[in-house]
Structure 1
Amino acid sequence: MIAWEFGAADLAGLRFAHSPMAELVASVFALRAGPAPWIRPGWRARVSTALGGWPTLRAVLFGPRGYAPDFLTPVPSVARPRLADELAVLAATPADRVAEQVRAGWGAVAPAEVERFVTDPRGALAALITEIRAYHQVAIVPLWPRLRAVADAEIAARVRAAAERSPRALLDGLHPRLDWDGSALLLKYPDKTDEWPGEGQDLTLLPTGFAGPQVYALTGSPTGRSLWYAPRGYGNIWDAEREPDAALSALLGPTRAAVLTLLAAPASTGDIADRLGLAAATASHHLTTLRDTGLVAAERSGRRLLYQRTHLGDQLTG
């Protein structure tokens, strides 16, 4: 177990954000880990097939030590950064730091793409950023609306729980591998024992759909410290395009069954109307009926009201 210093006073500096680069790097971790039931095989096959076109990205993120350089995932300065915002931070990373962290992923012998970070760090970093954009288009963009919606719903639910109960609710039940004893965050890794100082830095929680069953802690970034964890319902991100089955359509009617199936990931009335070609009033009527019967619940995220299936709704869709 790792004890990461985090006292009651640190709650005042706790914040949430959703990071495109955290999702991207976590998706690479998921690829490296091999097949998993919570990720669609089609996504894995599509991304794995394209990896050959990104030699610098492969060298940096698929090295033998399973290491991802910290500079790739700066702690966001805003709650909802764009990929372009985060890539601008990457591009400004000092060249010596880039070279040191990339080289740390390899032993004595490294491929030419890695050695270039030592001899031509700026050129190598530019090549890496170009390949990150290409990877993002293939691996992340098709899922991005659902990844962002699930993260938004998670953040809204945690903030509301903290307002209704106590600030501790921001951390309670965050993840099975995580606990808080009032003075330290306890990361339950059976093969690791350590104590990490707080170092006076605020903590940013990053709900990250691709984190899956893992929790990732970033402690050495000059932009702060962060903790990546999967938001509730992360496994449904890949199910949102599933067609409703015949039995569900017979029970609820085809349109209402389609609405419930789409709500594997959070969506607004407008999202549902657009994706099913419905009038906004019709989508609203179906959502209200599903909410009144306990199959979906609504959470406000900023100015948007997001609907998502309840546990009962998940059971009904199978």
Structure 2
Amino acid sequence: MLELEFTARDLARTRFALSLLWEVVASVRILKNDHEEHGLFRPWTGQARRRLAAAGLDWALLADLVPAPPRTVPLFVAPPPTTPLADLGVELAVLRATPVEQVRSGLDGRWAPRSARVEALRDDPRRGLAELAELVEAYWEVALAPYWPRMRSLLEGDVLHRARLLAEGGTDRLLNDLDPAVGWDSDTLRVRHLYVRGARRLDGRGLLLVPSVFAWPRVFSITAPGWQPTLRYPPRGVATLWERRTAVAEPLAAVIGRGRARLLAELDTPAATAELARRTGMTPGGVSQHLTALRAAGLVDGHRTGRYVLYTRTEAAEVLLAAADRR
């Protein structure tokens, strides 16, 4: 059991943030470990593996830096975000600027990851960090960017929900509702951990709360000196993230047309033109015309993977579908 001891100053400085870099790291953990508890992510893992292979992306260094327990991910690989906004560019700039001594100390511990690639990073941190940042960016584009609109909607919705809890019931209600593994009592946040135990004082630094899709079903914490104390926890509704919506919302169909509404419903997971044509019975040409119109309206984005362009809904489309579903 990890016990985080709060003062009034810690409560005042507790805040939320999103981290794309952490989602990359946590998703690599899922891809590497085909464990029963990760069954929720199988619709994503199958597609992600195929896309990474099709793109020819060598993500071995990332895999090495995310070892199986009891070895740990070095903190510099996914540090606490410095801004509440989801911005991979900012996070990668922080990663590239990591002090050399911090990289080496993170790779020297008893439970640090071990491989020839990790040793090369330790021997030449400046070059290694630049290569790692490029790899993270490429991995994100192939494996996660097509899903980000849905992920972001879920994560931001969770933060808004927590804000309402704070307004309605104060800190007690906010912190007691984070996760079944987390409990708040007598100015102490107790977190059930597999490998971390003992009491930690926050010392006025506050706690950074980071909802994370790929953290599920666990919570992850940072309490090491020199880093912002951080708790990463699964957001509400993560189990529904990969569910497909195939029913056409009639109110939306009346506005944008049944064909386009059907395509938006089918894009719960990224898909190429030929796959959408097969699912819907439309001609590839008809699908292409509808996608062009939806893209021009800001409702669809395209992401190239190898020879294919995969289409996905934007956040604006998620809002439209959610509003139509409520009618």
Q: Same fold (TM over 0.5)?
A: yes
Of 279, 285, 299, the residue aligned with 1:274 is 299
Whether the aligned pair in 1 keeps the contact of 2:13 and 2:204 (CA below 8 Å) is no
Query: 1:29 aligns to what SS in structure 2?
Result: helix
Of 40, 52, 65, the residue aligned with 2:42 is 40
1:74 matches 2:109: no
CA distance in 1, matches of 2:145, 2:46: 14
Whether the aligned pair in 2 keeps the contact of 1:147 and 1:209 (CA below 8 Å) is yes
* RMSD between superposed Cα atoms in Å: 3.7
Of 58, 64, 77, the residue aligned with 1:59 is 64
Cα deviations by residue, 1:273-304 (Å, 9 ceiling, x for unpaired): 93699xx9xx97x8667436xxxxxxxxxxxx
| Alignment-mate amino acid for residue 88 of structure 2 | L
Specify the alignment match of 1:210 in structure 2. Answer: 214
Specify the alignment match of 1:99 in structure 2. Answer: 104
| Alignment-mate amino acid for residue 48 of structure 2 | R
Cα deviations by residue, 1:74-110 (Å, 9 ceiling, x for unpaired): 2222211311100101111111211221343767x94
CA distance in 2, matches of 1:234, 1:290: 19
CA distance in 2, matches of 1:64, 1:217: 15
CA distance in 1, matches of 2:172, 2:266: 32
| Alignment-mate amino acid for residue 68 of structure 1 | V
Of 183, 190, 193, the residue aligned with 2:187 is 183
What's the CA shift for 1:28? 1.9
CA spacing shift, 1:225–1:64, aligned 2, 3 Å = closer
Query: 2:224 aligns to what SS in structure 1?
Result: strand
Of 152, 156, 160, the residue aligned with 1:152 is 156
CA distance in 1, matches of 2:25, 2:74: 10
Whether the aligned pair in 2 keeps the contact of 1:172 and 1:179 (CA below 8 Å) is yes
Identify the range of structure 1 (79-88 vs 32-41) with the bigger mean alpha-carbon deviation. 32-41
Whether the aligned pair in 1 keeps the contact of 2:219 and 2:232 (CA below 8 Å) is yes
CA distance in 1, matches of 2:59, 2:90: 22
Specify the alignment match of 2:283 in structure 1. Answer: none
| Alignment-mate amino acid for residue 47 of structure 1 | R
TM-score between both structures, scaled by the size of structure 2: 0.71
What's the CA shift for 1:206? 0.4
| Alignment-mate amino acid for residue 37 of structure 1 | G
CA distance in 2, matches of 1:220, 1:173: 25
Cα deviations by residue, 1:47-84 (Å, 9 ceiling, x for unpaired): 37549712322222236744211112222222113111
- Aligned pairs (5 A) from 1:186-205: 186-189=190-193, 193-205=197-209
| Alignment-mate amino acid for residue 144 of structure 2 | I
Specify the alignment match of 1:18 in structure 2. Answer: 18
| Alignment-mate amino acid for residue 2 of structure 1 | L
Percent identity between matched residues is: 32
What's the CA shift for 1:46? 2.8
Cα deviations by residue, 1:237-282 (Å, 9 ceiling, x for unpaired): 222x4423xxxx7x989959979978999xxxx99993699xx9xx
Query: 2:173 aligns to what SS in structure 1?
Result: helix
CA distance in 1, matches of 2:232, 2:193: 15
CA spacing shift, 1:237–1:112, aligned 2, 3 Å = same
Specify the alignment match of 1:301 in structure 2. Answer: none
Of 126, 131, 143, the residue aligned with 1:122 is 126
- Aligned pairs (5 A) from 1:229-248: 229-239=233-243, 241-244=244-247
Query: 2:156 aligns to what SS in structure 1?
Result: helix
Query: 1:171 aligns to what SS in structure 2?
Result: helix
CA distance in 2, matches of 1:171, 1:262: 37
CA spacing shift, 1:114–1:136, aligned 2, 3 Å = same
| Alignment-mate amino acid for residue 164 of structure 1 | E
TM-score between both structures, scaled by the size of structure 1: 0.73
Specify the alignment match of 2:29 in structure 1. Answer: 29
Cα deviations by residue, 1:149-182 (Å, 9 ceiling, x for unpaired): 1111111111122123323332121101000113
Whether the aligned pair in 1 keeps the contact of 2:9 and 2:206 (CA below 8 Å) is no
CA distance in 1, matches of 2:204, 2:211: 22
CA distance in 2, matches of 1:288, 1:84: 31
CA spacing shift, 1:192–1:128, aligned 2, 3 Å = closer
CA spacing shift, 1:193–1:70, aligned 2, 3 Å = closer
Query: 1:37 aligns to what SS in structure 2?
Result: helix
User: Which stretches in structure 2 are left out of the alignment for 5+ residues?
Assistant: 255-260, 270-293, 301-311
Alignment size in residue pairs: 276
